[in-house]
Structure 1
Amino acid sequence: MDTLEAELDRARDLDVATLADAIVEIGFECTRCGACCKAETCGNEASDDAESDSEPHTATVFPDEIRRVQDAGDQEYDFRDAARPMPYGLEDGPEGPEGETFEWALQTDDCGDCTFYSEDESGTGACTVHEDRPLICRTYPFSVALGGTSQPMGEAVDEEGMVRAHECEGLGRDISRAEAEELAAALKERAIREIEEAIAVRDAYEPVETGPGEIVVHDSEGQKRPDGTPLD
């Protein structure tokens, strides 16, 4: 298996023009449907059984992106308003989720939707922190497969199988070359940042004993409590 450092070299060598070619080939335009910002099932559209199996919206966010979202717009958000511990890896204990996890996710509302997502009366979606949204939001529905340790889901949309497209009703629509190149540049930046974060987490990791109901998040800046404060 390739090392993270080898993956990082490949990410840094990504050619933005080649990524843009793949994006232009498949096409994309955001329809503001909100599907990428919402839980898989929610509200009146879901049956009782579906609601019990609903998956909350989960979007990975880096520590500096959390701070940027906190300061977005006219409202200053608390850390917990902006982010939550990534649920993957946590266990259900008698006092709630507990254990160690290695990423942050954007915060969700009671319905499981991204807390920064809103809809107008016509059902058109909008991001309330759009100018400061994380890279994962800027690049959806695309991702990059570099091989090695990280293999994103989604269908390959180029001959090399590097650019992946996830389910989205905006795919197949015309996109300008300028917009495709902007999206491709963000896609490359995201690929680099994800691996840099993984390397930093690996290098800073120290096992932590967690008690009932206690959660520790390991990120590139060290060990933190769910409110973002350092464990030490």
Structure 2
Amino acid sequence: MQSLEAELETARSLAVSELADAIESIGFECTRCGACCKADDDDPHTATIFPDEIRDIQQTHEYDWRDVARPMPYGLDDGAGETFEWAIQTTGCGDCSFYVEKDGVGACSIHDDRPLICQTYPFSVALGGTSQPMGEAVDQAGMVRAHECEGLGRDISREEAEALAAALKERAIRELEEAIGVRDNYTGTTPDDGDIVVHDSEGAKQGDGTPVDR
């Protein structure tokens, strides 16, 4: 297995045109079904969001940190303990808190500022250290993986494919940079009973995004 640094160099060297070729060969058009924004059966919508993306949405839309993000739930016990990274905030029914629907047509209330993982769904890059949203891939072309989505297989213009490919490359780079930052900044922190500590690339934070006092 390659180191995260080696994977990062590979991500930086990816050719957008080749990623676009792969996206074109798979095909994609968003049908606005909202499936990627909703809870999956009993599992809440869970998508990684970077710390700076949280702040950008906060500032643009005047939200609090907790309005935008929640601690990644994996590894937590009744919402307490130690975890890594942030997930987009959800509603009481488990859907993305920014998802809106009218007459069966879905939309994003922060569409122009949505995180990279949302901009690039249903695709990911086949590199270690990058995420595979919504489960395992259902198709792959070159370095591009496609995940379950009813919009797959539809015609996509070259312009749209290249824009998606550029965002996909940026996301792969950012995910690996974040993973390296988490690794390098991690120091074991034992939360008090009922509390939570989130480790991201900037260090240890409380559930509201404020740094943990050491």
TM-score bracket for this pair, using the shorter chain length: over 0.9
User: Percent of counterpart pairs with the same letter?
Assistant: 69
Note if 1:128 corresponds to 2:116.
no
The structure that has the greater radius of gyration is: 1
What corresponds to 1:34 in structure 2?
A: 34
Q: Deviations over 1:80-105 (max 9, x none)?
A: 0100000012123xxxx221111100
| Contact persistence 1:217–1:223 (CA under 8 A) | yes
| Contact persistence 1:98–1:211 (CA under 8 A) | no
2-side partners of 1:127 and 1:213: how far apart?
Answer: 33
C-alpha displacement at 1:155, in angstroms? 2.7
2-side partners of 1:187 and 1:149: how far apart?
Answer: 14
2-side partners of 1:89 and 1:171: how far apart?
Answer: 32
Name the amino acid aligned to 2:56: R
Superposed, which structure 2 residues align to 1:3-82 within 5 Å?
Answer: 3-41=3-41, 54-72=42-60, 75-82=61-68
SS at match of 2:204: strand
SS at match of 2:80: strand
C-alpha displacement at 1:150, in angstroms? 4.7
C-alpha displacement at 1:210, in angstroms? 1.5
Q: Please give the TM-score of this superposition, normalised by the length of structure 1.
A: 0.87
Q: Structure 2 vs 1, CA of residues 23 and 8 (structure 1 numbering), >3 Å: closer, same or farther?
A: same
- Residue 218 of structure 1 is aligned with which of 196, 199, 203? 199
1-side partners of 2:105 and 2:2: how far apart?
Answer: 43
| Contact persistence 1:2–1:149 (CA under 8 A) | no
Unmatched runs of 5 consecutive residues or more in structure 2: none
**Which 4+ stretches in 1 moved above 3 angstroms?**
148-152
What is the number of residues matched between the two proteins? 210
Q: Deviations over 1:90-147 (max 9, x none)?
A: 123xxxx221111100000000000000011x1111100000000000000000112x
C-alpha root-mean-square deviation of aligned residues, in Å?
A: 1.2
Q: Structure 2 vs 1, CA of residues 157 and 10 (structure 1 numbering), >3 Å: closer, same or farther?
A: same
| Contact persistence 1:57–1:112 (CA under 8 A) | yes
Superposed, which structure 2 residues align to 1:193-212 within 5 Å?
Answer: 193-212=174-193
Q: Please give the TM-score of this superposition, normalised by the length of structure 2.
A: 0.94
Q: Structure 2 vs 1, CA of residues 119 and 189 (structure 1 numbering), >3 Å: closer, same or farther?
A: same
Unmatched runs of 5 consecutive residues or more in structure 1: 42-53
C-alpha displacement at 1:157, in angstroms? 2.3
1-side partners of 2:11 and 2:147: how far apart?
Answer: 20
What corresponds to 1:47 in structure 2?
A: none
